[in-house]
Amino acid sequence: LKGPVEPMAVTLQIIPFGANERLVMARDITHVKRLEDMRQHFVADVSHELRTPLTVLHGFLETFADLFEGQDGEVRSGIALMREQVERMRRLVDDLLALSRLETTPARAHDDVVDMGALLKGLADIATVLGADRGQRIEVENCGADLVGNVDELRSAFTNLVQNAVRHTPAGGSIRLVWRADASEGRFVVIDSGEGIAERHIPFLTQRFYRVDSDRSRASGGTGLGLAIVAKVLLRHDARLAVESVLGRGSTFTCVFPSSRLKFPPDPSRAPPP
Ligand code: ADP
């Protein structure tokens, strides 16, 4: 081989063969990996470039909205429509950037001790504000253990689950946020009494842009990227997402963390005598 050797990406498959032998199959996936890297960087660059023009549009539309306030007519409704669409694009660009950051940056040492009491309170406040006009009942249950990880990523993942619960639960429904932990694992659970999801959709929910009912989801402000972000964050925390749902009855989204991610408060009964 001449010149520098490029790093290769390979998958290895080990197949038992005969009594004591193993067959090792190596597949060169360098080109697949390279294409995937190009896709990720392209999406990140485009999203980044779109941010500035969208901010300018947003700013001017706010000014126009003020100028035409109190007047009836086509111009005002046109401005309202443009503001709504620009807002949607901003949400989409923010979600695309968040997703590509999770895909392209290595998971840094995820060792913040996350105060779950404070995080749950913040999430309950978000649910209350988002569902203010729906009178949803918000309940919180906290086991008192803390979680070890990246607080910003975890907050954004949990917020996505809470936002979804609020969006898909009708007026008067209930949303429960539960944090439970034992010696083997920790579970952050969002339970809603909303519209539910048909079973056939469940395996695809964490795919980018997958929507159960695209019109309804778009109208409710969703970008189709929320659960993809949740899945990526959980992967970076050695955790997984479990979804259970009954159409018309509600959904339960559970984030399951391994015990290595848990921190329990010291047990006073085990404290050494003074
Ligand atoms: P979106 O931004 O459109 O909400 P998500 O990736 O967060 O995208 O969710 C994907 C789809 O899963 C949504 O379009 C919605 O149809 C469905 N979904 C997510 N959470 C819930 C929920 N709590 N109840 C019912 N449907 C849900």
Ligand 1 atom closest to residue 190's alpha carbon, by position in its atom list: 23
Ligand 1 atom closest to residue 206's alpha carbon, by position in its atom list: 6
Ligand 1 near 195 CB (within 6 A): yes
54-90 pLDDT per residue, tens:
999 999 999 988 888 888 788 888 888 999 999 999 9
Coil, helix or strand at residue 137: strand
Ligand 1 near 102 CB (within 6 A): no
272 falls in which pLDDT band (50, 70, 90)? low
18 falls in which pLDDT band (50, 70, 90)? confident
Ligand 1 near 159 CB (within 6 A): no
Cα-Cα end-to-end distance for the chain: 70
143-200 pLDDT per residue, tens:
989 999 999 999 999 999 999 999 999 999 999 999 999 999 999 999 999 999 999 9
ipTM (interface predicted TM): 0.98
Q: How far is the CA of 65 from the centre of ligand 1 (A)?
A: 31
CA distance 194 to 213: 14
Ligand 1 near 213 CB (within 6 A): yes
pTM of the predicted model as reported, rounded to 2 decimal places:
0.84
What contacts 174, CB < 8 A, 6 or more positions away? 136, 137, 138, 139, 192, 193
Ligand 1 near 192 CB (within 6 A): yes
- Probe residue for ligand 1, chosen from 102, 227, 244, 247 as the CB with the greatest number of ligand atoms within 8 Å: 227
Q: How far is the CA of 99 from the centre of ligand 1 (A)?
A: 16
Quote the percentage of the chain above a pLDDT of 70.
Answer: 93
10 CB neighbour count, 10 Å cutoff: 11
